[in-house]
Structure 1
Amino acid sequence: MPTQNCDPMPARPLNTEIQGVLWDMDGTLLDTEPHWMAAEARLVAEFGGRWSHEQALELVGNALPDAAAALQRAGVALTEREIIDRLTAEVEAGVGRHVDWRPGALELLEALHAASIPCGLVTMSEEPLAALVLEQLPKKYFAFRVTGDMVSRGKPHPEPYLLGLRLLGEHVAELEPARVIGIEDSAPGIASAAASGITAVLVEHIAPVPDSASWQRVGSLLGLDVDSLGALVSTGVRA
């Protein structure tokens, strides 16, 4: 019998329905970076050192133990825990006075809430500061949070986002990482998100971040909605 030519099976289309959104906090949800940078400069100055703007930019998005180590190298003669506590206390005081939400963040959170898409916070800040920030929101937009004191390896390691995916899986059946959006503003953060296998979206803020095939860049959260995030899933690349 002659061999029959069979048409190849059509490729299964990517399901672009978003299953969840994981948000960074500092610099993405709200602008706390000036508080962190000022606190670092004051602490270094207290021990007779100098702290440049360029040095501060290098710490944006990093895990707090890494930031503490950098300050120790700059001459701060305190333990890691003492440095983290000093910095965090100053940032908490700043947030307590005023919250500067990033443009479009609250609007996007509301759109996701209206569409019943769960959100989680994935931050290198520790629990007290994260709790303080979330208390300032007009609604309970976040189903859970991952904080720096919950992981052994911080950003840029994928552990924070892998934990975020595990917690999101408690709210979403048959979770597919590619259908989860991770929103970040810093190089360590976006690398962490991309390495976890989710759709990583960069909204660069105070520190420059190079382009990469592992993530997508948007200019602002302003104007983003559920449909435009779904388009990012459909065109997204994976680490």
Structure 2
Amino acid sequence: MTTDTPAAVLWDMDGTLVDTEPYWMRAETELIEAFGGVWTHEDALGVVGLGLWESARVFQEAGADLDADAIVDYLTNSVQQQLETDGVPWRPGARELLAELRENGVRTALVTMSVKRMADQVAALIGFPAFDVIVTGDSVERPKPFPDAYLAAAEQLGVAASACLAIEDSVPGLASARAAGCSTIGVPHMVPLAASAADVLWPTLEGRTIADLFTVHDRSASDRSAHPGVDRDAASAEGIAR
């Protein structure tokens, strides 16, 4: 291990740890169609990575005649039911890498914009005690792309966010982690990521090891030390927030 071993590895959930985006898209389509509207694949891609209550405004504009809390409950209930009936679709290599981190005593957190009951459901289905901390969309004031969720995870772990490594699949998620000061790995899934969105982009976590994570964090920490005061985030959280 290097001097700059991460104090913790912080994981996004939907699209990074589990491939639940198709579940969300199915729920969104059923919601909008129930009110006579049309919800396209492109529409669904537009809300990937956003907080649920921010997405609710988009669904209202598309015709869903419900208040935001009711929309969040409807979508969450649908996805949770799909997890029960269709199973948990783990992203390639994610569960294995998470297990390796835990086996080596590295602290971990789940940082998701899904609500607590769904995050707890996914965590319980992993099969081992996977996370020291779980931060959810209903526990922070501002959603991703703002830094609140990652800052909260670091605070609850008792470490500096700048000492943590975050793994994300979306533009808002990466912006959130970088705004908090984390080093970042982007693993694009439903939505492409620009090279500048993260410290490194990996096409998959399959075959990746704890040593690979430490190398990314070490290089990121060295880069920040060599270029103090440089804004690492290509776009501020405010700039990409709806």
Query: What SS is found at the alignment partner of 2:72?
Result: helix
Task: Name the amino acid aligned to 1:56.
Answer: A
After TM superposition, the structure 1 = structure 2 runs for residues 101-112 of structure 1, keeping only pairs within 5 Å, are: 101-112=90-101
**Residue 214 of structure 2 is aligned to residue 230 of structure 1:** yes
**Residue 105 of structure 2 is aligned to residue 116 of structure 1:** yes
Query: What SS is found at the alignment partner of 2:92?
Result: coil
**Residue 174 of structure 2 is aligned to residue 190 of structure 1:** yes
| CA positional deviation for 1:141 | 1.1
Q: Report what 2:30 is aligned to.
A: 42
| CA positional deviation for 1:207 | 1.4
Choose the corresponding residue for 2:47, options 59, 62, 65: 59
In structure 2, distance between residues paired with 1:141 and 1:214: 24
Choose the corresponding residue for 1:215, options 180, 188, 199: 199
Could you tell me the TM-score, scaled by structure 2's length? 0.88
| CA positional deviation for 1:162 | 0.6
In structure 1, distance between residues paired with 2:160 and 2:111: 18
Q: Report what 1:7 is aligned to.
A: none
Q: Report what 1:9 is aligned to.
A: none
Q: Report what 1:150 is aligned to.
A: 139
Deviations 1:133-187 (A, max 9, x none): 1110110110110001000100011111010110121xxxxx3433311000111
| CA positional deviation for 1:210 | 2.1
Task: Name the amino acid aligned to 2:184.
Answer: A
Task: Name the amino acid aligned to 1:179.
Answer: A
Larger % of helix: which?
Answer: 2
Q: Report what 2:61 is aligned to.
A: 73
Deviations 1:44-94 (A, max 9, x none): 111111111111001011000111000000011100011000000000001
Aligned-pair identity in percent equals 41
Q: Report what 1:90 is aligned to.
A: 78
Could you tell me the TM-score, scaled by structure 1's length? 0.89
Larger Rg: 1
Deviations 1:97-142 (A, max 9, x none): 2011110011101110111001100000001101111110110110
Q: Report what 2:228 is aligned to.
A: none
After TM superposition, the structure 1 = structure 2 runs for residues 112-191 of structure 1, keeping only pairs within 5 Å, are: 112-169=101-158, 175-191=159-175
Q: Does the CA contact (< 8 Å) of 2:186 and 2:197 recur in 1?
A: no
Q: Which runs of 4+ in 1 moved over 4 A?
A: none
RMSD of aligned residue pairs (Cα, Å)? 1.3
Q: Does the CA contact (< 8 Å) of 2:150 and 2:161 recur in 1?
A: no
In structure 2, distance between residues paired with 1:140 and 1:201: 23
In structure 2, distance between residues paired with 1:190 and 1:93: 28
